Amino acid sequence: MNNTKEMLNKLILLMAQQTHQEQNKIHAIRGEFVERLIQRCPKLFETNLLGVGLVLLTLYSTSTQAKLFKWVDDNGTTHFGETIPPEYANKNNVLLDEKGRVIKRNEKITEVERRAQEEEAVKKRIAESAAAELHRKDASLLNTYSSEQEIELARVRNLHQIEARTNSLQVMKKSAEANLKNFQTEAENKAKKKKAIPDSLQQDLMESQGQLDKINKDLAAAQEKSAALNATYNETKKRFRELTGVKK
């Protein structure tokens, strides 16, 4: 069965090639006819250029080399022809020359394949962008520092600012805690004497507690910043060693 199908495909291809070659011969004969006409009747072309132009257009409009396509239908049958049926235009097909050799493969992809290609292209662009950004950072690193000692000096300089802020917050925290403690003691004494706590004292308690909470929040942020800065400089030193080949 397979041998019979293969023989039929070869026969179809041979017939298509013969038809293709015959059409090319006809186109060649038409061309020779026009050239002889121009040589023998030059006056005709001088006196009636418009009419002759229409003749030439008619003769040469079909002189373009015909295309021979090969495609497979939904049943797996191979077909040959100068045009592809519309229902197979968006499927895989092959363009052949007069000897049956492949000139071009027109491969149509599915929607799933198209989305996969688009996703791959996006990943590639992201990777290329990341590589370019890393190259930029590496160049900046080497332009900024010439040794690990310089990196350490920059670390100490930046950490000093954070430490100064932290020390100031610690002093403010002790003061806020003392104020809050005083207000709390005053409120406790009034409660023991079964006296009402004045609105002004309640306001002082709220404000003192709010101030202490803010100081604690600022201290936590300063500590996080210090830890992040240390981590950044550690990574900077590590990358500097990698780029310069310096061992730890």
N-to-C CA span, the chain: 73
**Burial class of 36 by CB neighbour count within 10 A (0 to 12, 13 to 18, 19+):** exposed
How do the domains of the chain map onto residue ranges? 2-108, 146-244
Q: Is 98 helix (H, G, I), strand (E, B) or coil?
A: coil
**How confident is the model at residue 87, as a pLDDT?**
75
Q: What is the pLDDT of residues 11-28, one digit of tens each?
A: 555 655 555 555 555 444
Distances 70 to 24, 45, 66, 97, 178 between C-alpha atoms, Å: 19, 42, 13, 11, 92
Asked whether the predicted pLDDT for residue 128 surpasses 80, the reply is: yes
Number of Cβ atoms within 10 Å of the Cβ of 169? 20
Structure tokens, 152: 């350490």
> Is the separation of the CB atoms in 55 and 79 below 8 Å?
no
Choice between 55 and 95, residue whose per-residue pLDDT is larger: 95
Choice between 248 and 180, residue whose per-residue pLDDT is larger: 180
If phi > 0 it is left, if psi is from -120 to 50 it is alpha, else beta; for residue 245 that is: left
Average pLDDT rounded to a whole number, residues 132-156? 95
Q: How far apart are CA 133 and CA 148, in angstroms?
A: 22
Indicate the helix (H) or strand (E) that contains 70.
Answer: strand 68-72
Confidence of residue 74 (pLDDT cuts 50, 70, 90): confident
Confidence of residue 64 (pLDDT cuts 50, 70, 90): very low
The whole-model pTM stands at 0.48
**How confident is the model at residue 36, as a pLDDT?**
58
